[in-house]
Amino acid sequence: MFITLLLIILGLGVALFGYVGIWGISRLSQHPENLSGSILSLIIAAILILLMYLLLRFRRSRKRRSRGKHTQAGKAQGQTPSRIASSRQEPNQQQQGIPPHPPAHPEPSQPATPTLAHKEPTFSPNLVYPATGFSHAAKNADYAVIDTETTGLHKGKEIIDIGVMLVQNGKVTATYSQLIRPQTMVSAAIVSLTGITNEMLAQAPVASQVLPPLLDAIRHLPIMGHNISFDINLINSTAESLGIKPLEAPRIVDTMTIGKHVFPNAANLTLETLLDLLGIHEEEEHRALADAKQTFHCYTLMESASSPRPIMKEQNDRARRRSREKTTSFLRASYLASENTTPRNIKPSGQELEAAGSISVCGEKDHMPLLSKYGDGAWIWLTVRKGYIPKGKYKGYPTIYVSLDGEEIGYITAYQMARHYLQIPNGQSVALAHIRKKNDTLELRLEMPRPHDPIDLTPYSSKTE
């Protein structure tokens, strides 16, 4: 009603200003001073005509969207009893907010309701279509498990990896995995987190080639994921930017939300923490399809939980430590991206240790001339070997000694050794280190693998050997 009234007002304006402009021009011979006013009136009339045109287009598009929503709602309602969206839950599941196991499709006696997936798409050579087996499985699936990897958490982030798993009667029937080339370069932090490099993405299709056929195949299905609102919001914002229909799932299941009911006192509920709490001995890979598989595994274990499970302090401490390590690793990769990390000395022989984080070295202050030779900010190779702490409270406890250019310059503390002892092989190893200036002196930071859970070093001390 409001739009109609606005159109009438604009139409009257067009008539008024058009008449004034034309009348003034027709009498220029008698009143030449009216030229500028007549032209202005015609310009205003033209602007009003443009506004009317835009308003008519807006009203037409709103009507189309309204009709689409009604159609989708009707079809989704017909699917509800046979999908994961079933509202009839077991009493204990309903109390904890845990969705029941996705029920099977309707019995043969029940009429099957047609879905959007039954409509065969018009193929285009520019699009990247899912495999035929995936598209066929999507027509009969109960729900889809989705995960994405992105260029970051910043505004304007883009999808670089998408993975989808189709599930029917509790079993995986098909999978889909696709890298997507973003418009911007991927940062070193994201490369470190996901293992997805800019070289890998350079050969991948863009979102406009991947999303249209994929969303057409799964848009009728309920969607499951871990913190799934993040993925759906990003998929839909990308779809909107491409001018395609967004993903409007009939139901959304979030394993993070389920986890809050099963583990109410958890320190955090990242996918990695949930894997640990459920006894799944895997690390989060931060690749879309792998994470979707782990999400489904977590769901299958949590759906049978009838009551909340208590968490031991050690489990929460481990979850907090992993969260800190992940944050530190992400920030570290961002920092290293701006640094020249090329070592300035020749690499010695020996097994190279993984460089996942830096730790301090004791005793390096006695070797300032050697460190000064390379200077602040230098990256260098060190040799590493097992030994024993020479003095102090932890004398005789195991440690590792580090040497630079053949000169032994320090060792690590018992605290750090308890977290890295199992990673150090016998014999000589090689590790990266960097020198930095702190309080007018140089200190050495040794690069080591990600620490393991601390162990008791007493059985390995020199006193017991």
Of residues 416 and 127, the one with the higher pLDDT is: 416
Quick check: helix, strand or coil at residue 102? coil
Which range is least confidently modeled, 19-33, 117-131, 405-419?
Answer: 117-131
Q: Which residue, chain included where needed, has tokens 């709602």?
A: 73
Residue range 344-373: average pLDDT? 89
What pLDDT shows up at residue 320? 75
Residue range 279-304: average pLDDT? 90
pLDDT, tens digit (0-9, with 9 covering 90-100), for 304-317: 887 888 877 777 77
Nearest to 220 by CA among 256, 254, 245: 245
What pLDDT shows up at residue 79? 37
Of residues 119 and 345, the one with the higher pLDDT is: 345
pLDDT exceeds 80 at position 119: no
What pLDDT shows up at residue 115? 35
What pLDDT shows up at residue 465? 53
What pLDDT shows up at residue 268? 85
What is the rounded CA–CA span in Å between residue 458 and residue 460?
A: 5
What is the rounded CA–CA span in Å between residue 372 and residue 274?
A: 47
What contacts 131, CB < 8 A, 6 or more positions away?
174, 176
What pLDDT shows up at residue 308? 85
pLDDT, tens digit (0-9, with 9 covering 90-100), for 156-178: 899 999 999 999 999 999 999 99
Residue range 212-241: average pLDDT? 95
pLDDT exceeds 60 at position 140: yes
Q: Where are the domains of the chain?
A: 2-63, 94-102+124-313, 351-464
pLDDT, tens digit (0-9, with 9 covering 90-100), for 376-411: 989 999 999 999 999 889 999 999 999 999 999 999
**What CATH class is the domain 94-102+124-313?**
alpha beta
Quick check: helix, strand or coil at residue 198? helix
Q: In what order do the strands lie in the sheet with 171-179?
A: 171-179, 159-168, 143-150, 223-225, 252-254
Of residues 336 and 198, the one with the higher pLDDT is: 198
pLDDT, tens digit (0-9, with 9 covering 90-100), for 266-285: 888 889 889 988 988 887 78
Strands 357-360 and 379-388: unpaired
What is the rounded CA–CA span in Å between residue 282 and residue 129?
A: 31
What pLDDT shows up at residue 124? 58
What pLDDT shows up at residue 116? 33
pLDDT exceeds 70 at position 93: no
Residue 154, phi then psi, degrees to nearest 5: -80, 165
pLDDT averaged over the chain?
81
pLDDT exceeds 60 at position 90: no
What pLDDT shows up at residue 336? 60
What tokens were used for 462?
């020199």
Of residues 97 and 134, the one with the higher pLDDT is: 134
Share of the chain above pLDDT 90, in %: 43
pLDDT, tens digit (0-9, with 9 covering 90-100), for 46-61: 888 888 888 777 777 6
Alpha helices (H) in 263-413, listed in sequence order:
271-277, 288-302, 313-336, 368-374
What pLDDT shows up at residue 48? 82
Nearest to 291 by CA among 387, 169, 173, 162: 162
Q: For helices 2-26 and 35-79, what crossing angle results, to 10°?
A: 160
pLDDT band at 78 (very low <50, low <70, confident <90, very high): very low
Of residues 93 and 297, the one with the higher pLDDT is: 297
Residue range 57-73: average pLDDT? 57
Share of the chain above pLDDT 70, in %: 80
pLDDT exceeds 60 at position 81: no
pLDDT exceeds 50 at position 289: yes
N- to C-terminal Cα distance for the chain?
Answer: 91
What pLDDT shows up at residue 453? 86
